[in-house]
Structure 1
Amino acid sequence: MPDDSMRKFTAFVGVRRLASGRLTDVALAVRARAAEEGDSILVFDDGSGAVIDLDLRGTEAEITARFVELGNAGDAMGGVEPRSDLDGAPRTRGRPKLGVIAREVTLLPRQWEWLASQPGGASQALRRLVDEARRADGGQTRTKAAREAAYRFLSALAGDLPGFEEVIRALFAGDAESFADRMTVWPPDIRTHALKLAALV
C-alpha cells in the first residue's frame, strides 16, 4: 500500500471507472460527471478500499483549494495528515530533513524508563524497534491490509455479482489464480481495480 504522500483515490460510475489519482483530480472529475449526468458515483480510498464522501460545493477553484489545504487527504479520512515543508506549512518539532515527524506516544512509566536508558534515547530506540518489527513482519501486515482494502471495494460494488463469495474466499486464501479467474465474467474495471488493490498479481 502507498504511504499517505502517495495516496490515491478512484471514482466509479456504476461498474465503470471514472477517474483515479490524487483526491483533487478525482473530485473535479466527479463534479464534472455529476453535473453532466446526475449519476450515482462512488469514490474509494485506494489505501483502505473504503467509500468516502466528498464536499463538492463551490467552484472548481474552491474545490481545488479545499482539497489542497487538506493535503490531498480529505476530511473524510478522519483528519488532516501532516504536510511537507514544500507546501508552505510551518515547520514542526523533529528533523524535517530526515522526514521525522513529532507525534504523541502514550506509554507506562516503566516503558519510558526503559526507553530512556537505551543508547540514543527514547526516539532512536522507538525507531529501531519499529524498523525491527517491520523486518520481522515480512510484509504480512501490508498483505493483510491490501486484501481488506480489496474486500471493502468489492463489497461495495460487486456483492451482487456471480461468484462473489468464491472470489472473496480466494482473496483471503491468497489464491491469486482463483481470485483472478473467478472474476473473469465481471465488468473489467471492477476486476482490474480489485486485482490492483489486492496486490495478488
Structure 2
Amino acid sequence: MPGLEIFTAFEGPRRLVSGPLGEVALVIKRAERRASEPVTIFSDATGRAIDLDLRGSDEEILARLPQHVPAETAPDTPRGRGRPKLGVVAREVTLLPRHWEWLNAQPGGASVALRKLVEAARRASGDIDSSRAARDAAYHFMAAMAGNLPDFEEASRALFAGDRQKFSGLIAAWPDDIRDHIIRLAFGSDAVDPAHVNRQVV
C-alpha cells in the first residue's frame, strides 16, 4: 500500500506478520496469548522497535495507535483566497554577495530559486539517501535481534561498506526470518530468496 508505513512483528526469532500498524497490532494482541517468547514490533522504515498499548478492545487499541501518515500523502485542506500556504519556514541563510546577486536575479527571487535548488539536489541524491536509510534500518534491526549472533561485528562492517556478497555470506547461518528481514530492509524484497517468502504463520 503506497505511502503507508509498514511494521513487522517477531516472536523471538520468528517473523509473525508485516503490514500497516493497525493490522499488526491486532494480530499481535491475539498472538501474545499463546506466545512462548517475547513479541517485538519493528518499524520497517527505521528498523527500530516500538511499544504499543494492547489493552482493551480492538477499537480502543486502534484509537491509541500513533498516526504514521507521510506528509506527502496527507489529504489537502480546503484553501481560501490569496497565496497558497506552502508550509515555508523563515530562517537565516548566510551567503556571499555574489550569491545573493545571482539569487535575486532569478525568476521569483531568492526564496523561489533556493527552493528549486534544494528540490533539484534532493532528486539528484534520492537514490543515495534511500540506500543510506535502508542500510541504517537494517543495522538498527540487526543490533536489536542479532547483536549476539556470530559474525555480527564483521557483518555490520560489510553492510556499511556496501559489500553485499560478503554481508550475505556472513549472515547466511542466522535464523531464517531474522536473516531474510535484514536483507529485505537493506536491499529490498527482491533480494530475499523466494523459497523463504511468506513462510510465517500467525
**Which interval holds the TM-score relative to the shorter structure?**
0.7 to 0.9
Mapped contact 1:167–1:179 kept (Cα < 8 A): yes
Task: Name the CA distance, whole Å, in 2 between partners of 1:136 and 1:28.
Answer: 40
Q: Does 1:91 align with 2:77?
A: yes
Aligned CA distance change for structure 1 residues 123 and 35 (closer, same or farther; 3 Å): farther
Task: Name the CA distance, whole Å, in 2 between partners of 1:47 and 1:92.
Answer: 30
Task: Name the CA distance, whole Å, in 1 between partners of 2:131 and 2:124.
Answer: 14
Aligned twin of 1:49:
47
Task: Name the CA distance, whole Å, in 1 between partners of 2:187 and 2:60.
Answer: 35
Mapped contact 1:16–1:190 kept (Cα < 8 A): yes
Aligned twin of 2:92:
108
Task: Name the CA distance, whole Å, in 1 between partners of 2:104 and 2:37.
Answer: 57
Task: Name the CA distance, whole Å, in 1 between partners of 2:94 and 2:158.
Answer: 45
Task: Name the CA distance, whole Å, in 2 between partners of 1:147 and 1:49.
Answer: 9
Mind listing any 5+ residue stretches in structure 2 that lack a counterpart?
A: 192-202
Q: Which runs of 4+ in 1 moved over 6 A?
A: none
Q: Please tell me the root mean square deviation across aligned C-alpha atoms, in Å.
A: 3.2
Give the aligned residue type for 1:58: G
1:152-191 aligned within 5 A: 152-191=140-179
Q: Give deviations 1:88-131, integer Å, cap 9, x for gaps.
A: xx81669xxxxx984352411778xx677742467744542232
1:60-99 aligned within 5 A: 60-67=58-65, 70-71=66-67, 73=68, 82=71, 84-85=74-75, 91=77
Mind listing any 5+ residue stretches in structure 1 that lack a counterpart?
A: 74-79, 95-99
Q: Give deviations 1:9-37, integer Å, cap 9, x for gaps.
A: 11111111011110111111111111233
Aligned CA distance change for structure 1 residues 57 and 176 (closer, same or farther; 3 Å): same
Aligned twin of 2:29:
31
Return the match for 1:130 from 96, 110, 118: 118
The structure with the larger Rg is: 2
Task: Name the CA distance, whole Å, in 1 between partners of 2:38 and 2:180.
Answer: 21
* Percent of aligned pairs with the same amino acid: 45
Aligned CA distance change for structure 1 residues 110 and 176 (closer, same or farther; 3 Å): closer
Aligned twin of 2:14:
16
Aligned CA distance change for structure 1 residues 123 and 199 (closer, same or farther; 3 Å): farther
Cα drift, residue 190 of structure 1: 0.7
Q: Which has the higher contact order (CA 8 A, sep 6+)?
A: 2
> How many residues end up aligned between the 2 structures?
180
Aligned CA distance change for structure 1 residues 185 and 61 (closer, same or farther; 3 Å): same
Q: Does 1:198 align with 2:186?
A: yes
Give the aligned residue type for 2:43: D
Give the aligned residue type for 1:171: L
Aligned twin of 1:147:
135
SS at match of 1:36: coil
SS at match of 1:28: helix
